[in-house]
Structure 1
Amino acid sequence: MSNIKNIKNIGDLPRWDLTDLYPSPESEILSKDIEDLRVNIKNFSNEYKGNITDKLSIDELGLVLYGAICQYEKISEKMGQIGSYATLYHVTDTSSSERSKFYGDTISRLTDLSNDLIFFDLELNQL
């Protein structure tokens, strides 16, 4: 049998301050970041899809890859920020259906958006 005592009241648990990421799930900043992310991914896809493996000189390819990787990094960082916020917001109270819905909806949006980036890995692998 365990030596751990049955604790009925452990008091207030520590809380994360998520406001460094976003003020709230309803934040206009969060909504704007998601919309900006959608636009940036669309622009990235339009600019680079099918163009990375074109017949380019080494110098041209280097410039194209540098630009693509810089943009991809910014997109990935923003996706990470949004995903981290959704996850941390959810895990602070997993019994909340509101938080669970926010988490599920946000991760679903990020997954849909990331589908438009799959080409990049595939085309890099063809080099």
Structure 2
Amino acid sequence: MARVISLPATGILVLLFGCGLLAFVAAAWMVVLPMAVAPYLLALVNRRSELRADAHAADLGFAHPLAGVLHTMRAHEEASYAAAGPQARRTGGLAKLLSSHPDYADRLQHLQPYLDGRPPR
């Protein structure tokens, strides 16, 4: 009689333990995943906000001065990379994803319609 009861009881215990372990892993994953993705999403929101701020400044008529400042900042950045030599560290893909500001080329590209006299709508 003990053998007949022991086998199903062992199966039920293994099933319960497995379900508990699966629930724990799922709960831990739901904590780890947002923590891993949050910095990238926050950086994306910051970059989009910066582009919106540039568009707002361009709507107010500051497209040409802003473009001049961005060209100057881009030239200074390129000069600092050239002065540092070939060992200068360029930003890679991961650093770009975590950057809170878009690079100068993207900002200038988004300003181009304002500079051409045809603001996007």
User: TM-score range with shorter-chain normalisation?
Assistant: 0.3 to 0.5
- Structure with the largest fraction of helix: 2
TM-score, normalised by the number of residues in structure 2: 0.35
Max Rg structure: 2
TM-score, normalised by the number of residues in structure 1: 0.34
